[in-house]
Homo-oligomer: A and B are copies of this chain.
Amino acid sequence: MKKEDKAKTAKDMALEQRAISVAEFFEKNRHLLGFDNPSKALLTVVKEAVDNSLDACEEANILPEIEVEIKELEENRYKITVEDNGPGILRDQIPRIFAKLLYGSKFHRLRQSRGQQGIGISASVLYAQLTTGHPAIIYSKPNKNGKVHVFHLKIDILKNEPEILKEDLIESGIKHPTGTKISIIIEGKYIQRYHSPYEYIKQTAIVNPWAHIKYKSPTGEVFDFPRAVNKLSKRPKEIKPHPYGVELGILIRMLKSTKSRNISAFLQNEFSRVGANSAEEICRLAGIDLTRKPQSLTHEEQEKLLKAMQRVKLMRPPTDCLSPIGEELLREGLSKEINAEFITTITRDPSVYRGIPFQIEAGIAYGGELKKNEETGEQAKLMRFANKIPLLYDPSGCAITKAVSSIRWRRYGLEQSGNALPRGPVIILVHIASAWVPYTSESKEAIANYPEIIKEIKLAVQECARRMLMYIRKQTRVKRETQRLSIFENYIPLIIENAKELAGIKTKIDIQPIIEKVVKKDLVAHESKGKENN
C-alpha cells in the first residue's frame, strides 16, 4: 500500500506542511499577474516596463522619452526592450527591484502612482525565466557623468531573492544622460487587434500627453507618439492616512510602533487632518486621557479610540496626493483620437473611499465618425483608465463598466438593453485617479466595486451624458427651427405683396430682408426661452 493511500493522522499531515515562497506562489498563479496566455503576457511585460518608466520620470521631474521595441526571435518567442530617460537606479537596488517580488517604494505610501504593489516588473522577469529560461538584462545609468551598470538577473524562486548571473560596468548602453533599460525574452504571441501593445501605447499616449513614446513593432513598423505638452502634470504629494480610513488592526500596529510620547501627539503626527483640537475631541469622545502613552492602551480603549476617530468631524483627506489629467487635456486626448461631432469631459472633485482619496474623470465623444456604429447597432466603446494606465482586460469585472451600465441611458437619448452598455455613436472614457487604486487582481485589469467609487463614476458620466443630450436636443431643435423657418420663408414674399398692397406702397424698396430679420429674431428668442425651460 502506497503512503498516500492510507488514512492520514495529524502526524502524517504535519510532515507535509511547509512554507511557500511568494515567488513559487506567483509562478504557479501567474494568471493572477496578467500572464494567462501568451498574447496577454507580451502586453503585460510592455505595460509593466512602461508604467515603471513613466513613474520614475515623473518622480524625477523629467519629461519622459520612452522607447519600446518588440522583436520576434523565433516562433512564439519575443525580446522586449524598454528604455527610458528616467533617473536610473542605484547599483545596489537593481537586483531587488527587478528580481524580488514584493519589493518597492510605492506600497507603503499614500500617493497616486502607476505601480503600487512592487510586483509587476519582477513578475515579468519571473515569467521570462519560467518560459524561456533567460535572465533579464538591466542597464542603469544613475549619474550623468557615470558609467552604465549591467546586470543579468534571475529570481531564486524558492527564496524569492535575486540571483545575479553577471554584473558589469560599461561605457555605453543608455542613450540619455541618465536612464534605465530592460531587456526580457519571453514566450509570447503578438496580436495586432484590440488588446495589442500598439493599442496600449496609443491609449497611454492619450492620457500622458507630456510623454514622448516610440514603438517599434515585431513587424518592423515604427510608431511615434509625440509629446503634446511640454510640462509634466502636477506632481502628487505623499499624504498620511486619514482617521476615517484606518482599521482597528492597523491602528493597533501604529499605536505599538509610534515614536510619539502621548496619544495627542500620536493622532496629530500620524494622521492627516488631525490638529490639537481634533485630537482633544477624539480623546474626550473615547474617554482616554490625552497624555496617555500610546503603547499603554487596553484593547477596549483601542476600540474606543477608533470609534471616536471615526465619529469626530474632520476635514476630508488632502487631495494633493492626486494628479488628475484635467478636463482640458482629456478633451484634447479624445479629440486627437476621435473624429466626433461633440466631445465633453469632466473632472469631478476628489472623493474618499475607506479614507483614501480618489477622483473620477470622464468624457463622452458623440457622433461624427462614430455614427457608423449606429447602423450596426454596436455597443458604445468604453475606455477605462486608472492612474493614467489604460485597462484593456476584464471589462465585465470592473466597477467602471458596472457604473456605466447601471445608468439609464434611454433618459439620455441612447438605446440600451437590460444592464448592458448603451448602443449608439458614442465613446465613453472614465479615469480613476487614486492614492491606492483598488484593483480586483494584481494584474491591474479591473476596479473593485466600492459603492463610493461607483457613485462618483455614475455622477461624472451622467453629467457628460446630460451635456450630450442637450447637444442632441439642440441639434434636433435647430433642425426643426430650420424647417419652420423655411416654411415662413415660403410665405414671406406673399406677406410682402399683401402688405405692400394694403399700404399702397409702390416703391422698389426691398423690405423682404427686414421682415426676415424680424421673423428670425423672434424665432431665436423663442428658442432660447425653450432652452431655459429644459
Residue A4 CB within 8 A of the other chain: yes
CA distance A62 to B132 in the complex (A): 45
- CB-CB < 8 A to A103: which residues of B? 17-20
Chain A, range 276-313, C-beta contacts under 8 Å to B = 299, 302-303
B59 touches A8 (CB 8 A): yes
B31 touches A448 (CB 8 A): yes
Residue A514 CB within 8 A of the other chain: no
The distance from the CB of A251 to the nearest CB of chain B, in whole angstroms, is 8
B21 touches A102 (CB 8 A): yes
CA distance A481 to B96 in the complex (A): 77
- CB-CB < 8 A to A302: which residues of B? 133
- CB-CB < 8 A to A129: which residues of B? 249
CA distance A18 to B108 in the complex (A): 9
B4 touches A89 (CB 8 A): no
Chain A, range 84-106, C-beta contacts under 8 Å to B = 87-90, 92-93, 96-97, 100, 102-105
CA distance A333 to B394 in the complex (A): 33
The distance from the CB of A13 to the nearest CB of chain B, in whole angstroms, is 6
A13 touches B248 (CB 8 A): no
- CB-CB < 8 A to A61: which residues of B? 7-8
The 8 Å CB contact of A20, one of B108, B396, B448, B449, is B108
- CB-CB < 8 A to A252: which residues of B? 133
The distance from the CB of A164 to the nearest CB of chain B, in whole angstroms, is 17
CA distance A32 to B441 in the complex (A): 6
With both beta carbons as reference points, the residue of chain B lying nearest to A249 in the complex is identified as B130
Interface-side segment among A22-30, A338-346, A465-473, A518-526: A22-30
Interface string of A163-176 (1 = CB under 8 A from B): 00000000000000
The distance from the CB of A146 to the nearest CB of chain B, in whole angstroms, is 10
Q: Can you name 8 A-B pairs with beta carbons within 8 Å?
A: A8-B60, A13-B87, A13-B105, A27-B250, A29-B117, A32-B442, A130-B247, A131-B249
